[in-house]
């Protein structure tokens, strides 16, 4: 029997006056064999709601964005014919071309899997070309500064120009200087192969002396230019590396635009960062990134003078770190595919897809980060976002639990149970292994987006709740059983019984982390219940600036990362032609650059402002050209906000030089 040739087309018709939004799914048989007794699997960021209205088909399975549909009984898909399904009431409206189904397959009656060709969802009434690849920012004919540096330094007073050097001949004095020189040489060789930014004097390298200068800020540096060389001084190895990176920026700018930019013959640059925490987060659970990709991202954030990498290693969709005590986490939780404990999700097809980081790979990545002045912060998201954990270790569930609650992403019963003692044995074991791998001494425990109805069907959780607060709150929580929340994003749980149970969990886990001599990080929801010791914790504020300001006023150290501006999965504009997500709105490079993280904070609150962080959530990142478009140059825009004082920022200057910054995969927008 010939293999069927199948194609799927999906279209989105937005709601209008008197008309509901509709999602049309059309499976066409381009082969020569009729299709009997089949099921269609699709997945992508968009989700068909469990209570959606479906015409022309039946919903067989739904888990988050994984959907399995069947035609009406007796339907045969003849050669040349099309089966159409119309869906109303998705979990959220589609806003961008990558929102709809991006993987499809057919399961035949005998269990065989047939791949299905698919194109991105089309918007009815629009033929605008889909945008992919990083935006191009050509350098203007007249530049606003004589040298190119991102992020812009604190004080620039350079004069004159020398012929553009072919490269830099590094002359380190002392162990810190030697380590900085080695790190810079390796960094530039990887980011800019064959450019030879570092080369010996025998190859006409321009002399750069690197030496210690006590008394400068920990990450600060001074560059002194002369006609026959330059000197970089700093009080730490990180400062020396940042001074060299600034020289690298200046050299590349002068080399690529010698008619507009110079390499100085005299003067100085005196520099230090404005904020302590300048971070980038990467979600490797929704999509897997090979260790080589993670290493390249570390090099890119170093080139932007960022000093924190927040590594989101687990979520509902996958578990990505080797844990010796629980091999099931990677044997089961690291893989998705048809018939597996985790089905195809977010563009992964029916074949086994995924991966995880071995301890050897993690040690290599941590060492790279250390050489580049980047502290790596691991996150295991809990007690919510644990569907992959619970599929791997089902004995962590309450055996008496009944009913179902759903996360905002559509995962049922996805939270570690705070009333089960084995929960703490599991979490503490994982933390101990993780802290051995990540010597920066910071562990991020997540604590975001726990559903309001979590544990409402668990006798153990209800009994614990009654012991903590009495029968009345336990009864109120019991009444949440099988209720679906998330009517406008993630549930607000502050003050609820759910928050009481989560606080009990956080209290114990935070105490364990503190006992191990480490700092606890959390998303802003970790503040619910007030159980964190503020001296040994920090929070990442993601909803809005008002919450950041309120948490800082309450005494929490804050890293500002609002979804509206610093979530780099949000689209660059509201246009359908742009890829990305849209639940928090949109933010183009200029809007991201202009955002002020200090907004709404007084002097006392600013004492608790650690810094800023981008978040690269990966639901949309099936196409690496989408990654390049969403992340660059917005990552550099956040980096400049973290480093450069507000009065020294300039969008026209940033825009003029943004095109010189390297990107991840080399995908540039056409035109």
pLDDT of residue 583: 93
Among candidate residues 592, 619, 559, 615, the one with its CA nearest the CA of residue 282: 615
* CATH fold for the domain made of 155-271: Chitobiase; domain 2 (3.30.379)
Q: What is the per-residue pLDDT across 89-111, written as a single tens digit (0 to 9) for each?
A: 888 899 999 999 999 999 999 99
Among candidate residues 462, 349, 345, the one with its CA nearest the CA of residue 398: 462
Residue pair 382/510 in contact (Cβ under 8 Å)? The answer is no
Q: What is the per-residue pLDDT across 113-133, written as a single tens digit (0 to 9) for each?
A: 999 999 999 999 998 999 999
pLDDT of residue 2: 67
How far apart CA 94 and CA 109 sit, in angstroms, is: 32
What is the three-class DSSP state of 377?
Answer: strand
Residue 526 tokens, joined: 């970790």
Q: Which residues, 6+ apart, have CB-to-CB distance to 194 below 8 Å?
A: none
Architecture per CATH, domain 277-647, reads as Alpha-Beta Barrel (3.20)
Whether the predicted pLDDT of 463 surpasses 90: yes
For 6-123, which CATH class?
mainly beta
pLDDT band at 491 (very low <50, low <70, confident <90, very high): confident
Predicted TM-score of the model (pTM): 0.97
Inter-CA distances, 468 with 119, 242, 339, 373, 463, Å: 53, 51, 41, 44, 9
How far apart CA 660 and CA 429 sit, in angstroms, is: 45
Whether the predicted pLDDT of 8 surpasses 70: yes
Q: What is the per-residue pLDDT across 351-396, written as a single tens digit (0 to 9) for each?
A: 999 999 999 999 999 999 999 999 999 999 999 999 999 999 999 9
pLDDT band at 50 (very low <50, low <70, confident <90, very high): confident
Q: What is the per-residue pLDDT across 567-589, written as a single tens digit (0 to 9) for each?
A: 999 999 999 999 999 999 999 99
Domain boundaries of the chain, sorted by first residue: 6-123, 155-271, 277-647
3-state secondary structure 33-96: CCECCCEEEEECCCCCCCCCEEECCEEEEEECCEEEEECCCCCCECCCCEEEEEEECCCCCCCC
Inter-CA distances, 446 with 320, 507, 524, 617, 654, Å: 15, 13, 9, 14, 33
Least confident span in 316-325, 479-488, 628-637: 479-488
**How, if at all, do strands 609-616 and 558-560 pair?**
parallel
Inter-CA distances, 467 with 458, 484, 623, 664, Å: 14, 26, 50, 52
Q: What is the per-residue pLDDT across 126-182, written as a single tens digit (0 to 9) for each?
A: 989 999 999 999 999 999 999 999 999 999 999 999 999 999 999 999 999 999 999
How far apart CA 647 and CA 493 sit, in angstroms, is: 39
Whether the predicted pLDDT of 533 surpasses 80: yes
How far apart CA 546 and CA 530 sit, in angstroms, is: 18
pLDDT band at 671 (very low <50, low <70, confident <90, very high): low
Q: What is the per-residue pLDDT across 184-208, written as a single tens digit (0 to 9) for each?
A: 999 999 999 999 999 999 999 999 9
Q: What is the per-residue pLDDT across 129-141, written as a single tens digit (0 to 9) for each?
A: 999 999 999 999 9
**How, if at all, do strands 58-63 and 53-55 pair?**
unpaired
**CA angle in degrees (0–180, nearest 5) for 60-65-68:** 20
Q: Could you check whether the bond before residue 151 is cis, i.e. omega within 30 degrees of 0?
A: yes
Q: What is the per-residue pLDDT across 248-291, written as a single tens digit (0 to 9) for each?
A: 999 999 999 999 999 999 999 999 999 999 999 999 999 999 99
């Amino acid at each position: 029997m010939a293999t069927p040739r199948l194609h799927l087309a999906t279209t989105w018709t937005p709601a209008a006056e008197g008309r509901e939004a509709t999602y049309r799914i059309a499976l066409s048989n381009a082969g020569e064999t009729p299709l009997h007794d089949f099921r269609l699997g699709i997945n992508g960021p968009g989700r068909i709601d469990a209570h959606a209205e479906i015409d022309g088909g039946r919903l067989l399975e739904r888990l988050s964005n994984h959907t399995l549909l069947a035609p009406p009984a007796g339907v045969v898909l003849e050669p040349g014919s099309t089966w159409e399904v119309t869906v109303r009431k998705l979990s959220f409206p589609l806003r961008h071309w990558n929102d709809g189904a991006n993987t499809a397959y057919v399961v035949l009656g005998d269990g065989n899997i047939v791949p299905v060709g698919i194109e991105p969802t089309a918007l009815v009434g629009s033929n605008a070309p889909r945008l992919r690849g990083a935006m191009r920012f050509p350098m203007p004919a007249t530049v606003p500064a004589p040298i190119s540096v991102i992020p812009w330094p604190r004080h620039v007073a350079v004069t004159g120009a020398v012929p553009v050097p072919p490269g830099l001949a590094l002359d380190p004095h002392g162990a810190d200087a030697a380590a900085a020189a080695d790190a810079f040489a390796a960094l530039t060789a990887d980011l800019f192969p064959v450019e030879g930014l570092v080369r010996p004097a025998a190859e006409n390298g321009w002399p750069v002396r690197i030496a210690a200068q006590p008394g400068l800020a920990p990450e600060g540096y001074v560059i002194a230019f002369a006609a026959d060389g330059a000197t970089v001084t700093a009080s730490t190895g990180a400062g020396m590396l940042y001074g060299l990176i600034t020289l690298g920026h200046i050299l590349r700018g002068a080399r690529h635009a010698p008619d507009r930019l110079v390499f100085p013959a005299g003067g100085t640059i005196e520099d230090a960062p404005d904020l302590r925490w300048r971070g980038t987060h990467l979600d490797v659970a929704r999509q897997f990134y090979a260790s080589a990709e993670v290493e390249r991202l570390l090099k890119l954030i170093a080139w932007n003078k960022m000093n924190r990498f927040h590594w989101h290693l687990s979520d509902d969709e996958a578990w990505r770190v080797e844990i010796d005590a629980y091999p099931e986490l990677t044997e089961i939780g690291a893989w998705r595919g048809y018939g597996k404990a985790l089905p195809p999700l977010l563009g992964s097809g029916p074949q086994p897809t995924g991966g995880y980081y071995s301890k050897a790979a993690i040690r290599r990545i941590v060492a790279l980060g250390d050489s580049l002045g980047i502290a790596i912060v691991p996150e295991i998201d809990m007690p919510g976002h644990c569907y992959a954990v619970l599929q791997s270790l089902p004995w962590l569930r309450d055996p008496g639990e009944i009913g179902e609650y759903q996360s905002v992403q559509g995962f049922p019963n996805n939270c570690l149970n705070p009333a089960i003692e084995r929960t703490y044995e599991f979490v503490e074991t994982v933390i101990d292994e993780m802290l051995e791998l990540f010597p920066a001494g910071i562990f991020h425990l997540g604590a975001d987006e726990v559903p309001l109805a979590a544990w409402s069907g668990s006798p153990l959780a209800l009994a614990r709740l009654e012991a903590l607060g009495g029968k009345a709150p336990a009864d109120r929580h019991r009444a949440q059983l099988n209720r679906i929340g998330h009517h406008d994003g993630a549930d607000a749980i502050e003050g609820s019984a759910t928050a009481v149970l989560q606080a009990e969990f956080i209290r114990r886990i935070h105490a364990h982390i503190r006992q191990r001599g480490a700092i606890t990080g959390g998303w802003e929801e970790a503040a619910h219940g007030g159980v964190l010791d503020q001296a040994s914790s920090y929070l990442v504020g993601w909803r809005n600036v008002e919450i950041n300001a309120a948490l800082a006023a309450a005494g929490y150290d804050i890293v500002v990362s609002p979804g509206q501006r610093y979530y780099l999965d949000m689209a660059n504009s509201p246009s359908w032609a742009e890829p990305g997500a849209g639940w928090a709105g949109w933010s183009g490079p200029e809007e991201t650059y202009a955002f002020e993280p200090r907004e709404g904070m007084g002097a006392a609150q600013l004492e608790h402002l650690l810094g800023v962080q981008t978040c690269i959530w990966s639901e949309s990142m099936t196409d690496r050209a989408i990654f390049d478009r969403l992340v660059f140059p917005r990552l550099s825009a956040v980096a400049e906000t973290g480093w450069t004082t507000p009065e020294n920022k300039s969008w026209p200057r940033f825009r003029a030089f943004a095109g010189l910054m390297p990107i991840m995969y080399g995908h540039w927008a056409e035109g």
